């Protein structure tokens, strides 16, 4: 049983968060969509203090303003969230991929939930620890001037495709709107151009390789390894 004592300290922000994080949002929902027209990512309570209550409000899905934006490192989980939003009748559902290397305001939601006393046998489904595996909380938001958005995926239907990085080829499920409207012929080329549009980084950058690796699940496979190189 995990301690829920108010004296139990909460974790500090991660010194090394996952390199790529994802979030599915409905742009027509004030509650759900943190992405502004200027591409700033802002929580619904960016000036609110970071407290135990703020963490609990966010992790237990209360519809109140908190200083956090939830993300996941799992492409499978973000696709599941996208599916739920569409099933609820939400419009304009997109997936946002961000480059989170070097972010200093990222908390491991699973570790926070443990400190808050969440556990798998909780009678309250909002307090179950497993809900927060692979989940991360970005405090405040991310300015567009940081150029951390790598790609925005849209579309109502899904397509199963192959994606490749050096030494590895894997399957990924991708929203069809991105495949239809993205610039380029190959999917990897569409991703290259998407990253370029958002960051100014061209070609087979480490951003591209890590994004593809995350989408195919390569980084969840301990037997998979490949060299990530930067194109100068």
Domain boundary pick from 146, 176, 197: 146
Per-10-residue mean pLDDT, the chain, length 232 = 57 94 84 70 92 95 92 96 92 93 95 92 85 95 94 94 84 93 92 95 91 84 46 41
Instruction: Check whether residue 38 and residue 88 sit in a common domain.
Output: yes
Domain boundary pick from 146, 169, 204: 146
What contacts 165, CB < 8 A, 6 or more positions away? 209, 212, 213, 216, 218, 226, 228
Domain membership of residue 62 (yes or no) is: yes
Domain boundary pick from 111, 146, 181: 146
Q: Determine the pLDDT at residue 232.
A: 40
Q: Determine the pLDDT at residue 91.
A: 80
Domain membership of residue 45 (yes or no) is: yes
Q: Determine the pLDDT at residue 222.
A: 45
Q: Where are the alpha helices (H) located in the chain, listed in sequence order?
A: 52-59, 75-87, 109-115, 176-181, 187-199, 206-216
Instruction: Check whether residue 123 and residue 69 sit in a common domain.
Output: yes
Q: Determine the pLDDT at residue 228.
A: 47
What contacts 5, CB < 8 A, 6 or more positions away? none
187-202: pLDDT as tens digits: 999 999 999 999 999 9
Domain of residue 181, residue span: 156-220
Domain count, the chain: 2
Count of positions (residues) in the chain: 232
Kindly list the distances between the CA atom of residue 18 and the CA atoms of 14, 166, 206, in Å, as whole numbers in the listed order: 9, 20, 14
Residue 98 pairs in a beta bridge with: 21, 149
Instruction: Check whether residue 133 and residue 184 sit in a common domain.
Output: no
Instruction: Check whether residue 116 and residue 181 sit in a common domain.
Output: no
Q: Determine the pLDDT at residue 109.
A: 96
Domain membership of residue 228 (yes or no) is: no
∠ CA 145-146-152, nearest 5°, is 95
Q: How far apart are CA 147 and CA 143, in angstroms?
A: 8
Domain membership of residue 135 (yes or no) is: yes
61-80: pLDDT as tens digits: 888 999 999 999 999 999 99
Domain membership of residue 225 (yes or no) is: no
Q: Determine the pLDDT at residue 166.
A: 75
Instruction: Check whether residue 142 and residue 160 sit in a common domain.
Output: no
Instruction: Check whether residue 189 and residue 74 sit in a common domain.
Output: no
Q: For residues 91 and 28, is the Cβ–Cβ distance under 8 A?
A: yes
∠ CA 220-221-224, nearest 5°, is 130
Q: Determine the pLDDT at residue 225.
A: 46
Q: What is the DSSP string of 136-160?
A: EEEESEE-GGG--EEEEEE-SSEEE
Cβ atoms < 10 Å from Cβ of 206:
16
Instruction: Check whether residue 171 and residue 195 sit in a common domain.
Output: yes
What contacts 44, CB < 8 A, 6 or more positions away? 30, 31, 34, 65, 66
Instruction: Check whether residue 128 and residue 52 sit in a common domain.
Output: yes
């Amino acid at each position: 049983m995990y301690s829920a004592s108010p004296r139990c300290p909460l974790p500090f922000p991660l010194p090394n968060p996952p390199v790529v994080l994802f979030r599915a949002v409905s742009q027509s929902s004030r509650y759900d969509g943190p992405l502004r027209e200027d591409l700033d990512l802002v929580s619904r309570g960016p000036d609110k203090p970071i407290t135990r209550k703020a963490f609990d409000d966010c992790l237990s899905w209360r519809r109140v303003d908190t200083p956090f934006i939830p993300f996941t490192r799992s492409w499978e989980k973000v696709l599941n969230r996208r599916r739920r939003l569409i099933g609820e009748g939400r419009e304009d559902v997109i997936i946002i991929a961000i480059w989170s290397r070097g972010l200093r305001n990222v908390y491991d939601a699973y570790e926070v939930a443990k400190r808050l006393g969440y556990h798998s046998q909780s009678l309250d489904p909002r307090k179950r620890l497993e809900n927060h595996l692979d989940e991360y909380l970005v405090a405040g938001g991310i300015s567009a001037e940081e150029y951390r958005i790598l790609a925005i995926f849209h579309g109502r239907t899904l397509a199963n495709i192959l994606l490749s990085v050096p030494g590895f080829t894997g399957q990924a499920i991708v929203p069809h709107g991105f495949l239809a409207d993205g610039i380029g012929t190959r999917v990897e080329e569409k991703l290259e151009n998407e990253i370029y549009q958002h960051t100014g980084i061209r070609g087979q950058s480490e951003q591209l390789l890590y994004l593809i690796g995350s989408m195919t699940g390569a980084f969840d496979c301990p037997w998979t390894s490949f060299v990530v190189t930067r194109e100068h």
